[in-house]
Amino acid sequence: MVLNLSKKFTDDFDMQTDTLDSLIRHMEIRIIGHGIRSSGETLIQNFLFPSFLMVYFYKGFAELNYGGKTVLLEPGSFFMYKPFEVYSGVLKSKPPFVFSYVYFDIFPYSTRIDFERNAFQAEEKLFKLPWYSGVGALLDEFFQPESAKRIGCKTLLKQAVKGVAAHILCDQLNQPRAASFFIGSKESALIDQTFAYSERHLSEPINIGEIVKSLGTSRTTLDRVFKDIALISPIRAITRFKMQRSLSLMKAGNSVKQTAQALGYSSTFHFSAAFLSVMGKRPSSYIELMNQKRLRQKKAAFEFGDDCPAPGLAGGAL
């Protein structure tokens, strides 16, 4: 007789799929850059990141200010920068300030917004929990130069980042008096369809009327969904989307004029104004910073991958 011992290893509760399970299951991670960086900058004012930046600190002390909050970053600290939040950082110790980072994005866009809405309610308290002090050790193997040559390294890193993101969500929602703000299925579909349309018509000017017509909805409904959920208008959301794409185009060697044309802007002036309103700098400044970064990368022993945006546009990640 053969004993079936599966019952001894099976949870007794009913494992039903809930909203959080669904969010994590459908979350797709795109790694933009990762590595170890040493920064000698002592003051960086008003910087932002268009995507998520996860950092783990090894050396140095810095004070980070944003949204009326102040956070001390020290060795063993974990922190995640929120897209399009404006930060300022001051180094409180002798340089350099050494940290590892993973710069990434989340898709589909409704899932990205869901994560933003639920993961940053009390991050300054959450990220000090004991588990996060071990994130550096968890990700260390991906930050070594030899790891870049390993087959499947980026696939494993994506799963590790997804695991950290899931941990953040679970910890956040288990905080006392925490409130969840998950997007409904109809709203999620409308948001994702809006960005899918924008992707297909990337080289055309933003036309909300055509988007509304294509999606079979109304301008009022589209405005309400974006303002209630993303806290910005559809035009602003799509402009951010285009500006994120512009970073990749310019990094690939496209001029400001070529990038403007590829994104449906009638002139470099209009594109430059849109870029400035979202990123805080002119696109010409970004290209100049990217050129400077390429020179630095030749000397950097621990940098690989696509990396995060150049310091100045996105700061030095203090």
* Tens-place pLDDT, residues 31-58: 998 988 888 888 888 999 999 999 999 9
Model confidence, pTM: 0.86
Statement: residue 303 has pLDDT above 70 = no
The predicted-structure confidence for 187-246, as pLDDT tens digits, reads as follows: 999 999 999 999 999 999 999 999 999 999 999 999 999 999 999 999 999 999 999 999
**pLDDT in the model for residue 298:** 64
Statement: residue 318 has pLDDT above 70 = no
Written out in words, the top-level CATH class of the domain with range 185-280 is mainly alpha
Which position has the higher pLDDT, 15 or 146? 146
DSSP state of 248: H
The predicted-structure confidence for 158-168, as pLDDT tens digits, reads as follows: 999 999 999 99
Computed over every residue of the chain, the mean pLDDT equals 86
Statement: residue 309 has pLDDT above 60 = no
Token representation of residue 166? 């899931």
Statement: residue 302 has pLDDT above 50 = no
**pLDDT in the model for residue 18:** 72
The predicted-structure confidence for 94-110, as pLDDT tens digits, reads as follows: 999 999 999 999 999 99
**pLDDT in the model for residue 120:** 86
| Same fold for the pair 23-180 and 185-280 | no
183, 169, 197: which is closest to 229 by C-alpha?
Answer: 183
Written out in words, the top-level CATH class of the domain with range 23-180 is mainly beta
Token representation of residue 179? 């409130």
Whether residue 283 has a cis bond before it, omega within 30° of 0: no
Pick the range with the lowest mean pLDDT from 10-14, 28-32, 118-122, 256-260. Answer: 10-14
- Is residue 102 within 8 Å of 31, Cβ to Cβ? yes
**pLDDT in the model for residue 9:** 79
pLDDT confidence of 315, banded at 50, 70, 90? Answer: very low
Q: For residue 100, how many C-alpha atoms fall within 13 Å in the half-sphere facing its CB?
A: 20
Report the percentage of the chain scoring pLDDT > 90: 56
Burial of 62 (0-12, 13-18, 19+ CB in 10 A): buried
CA 280/CA 41 separation, integer angstroms: 19
**pLDDT in the model for residue 12:** 62
Give the start-to-end residue ranges of the domains of the chain: 23-180, 185-280
Which position has the higher pLDDT, 212 or 117? 212
CA 273/CA 169 separation, integer angstroms: 36
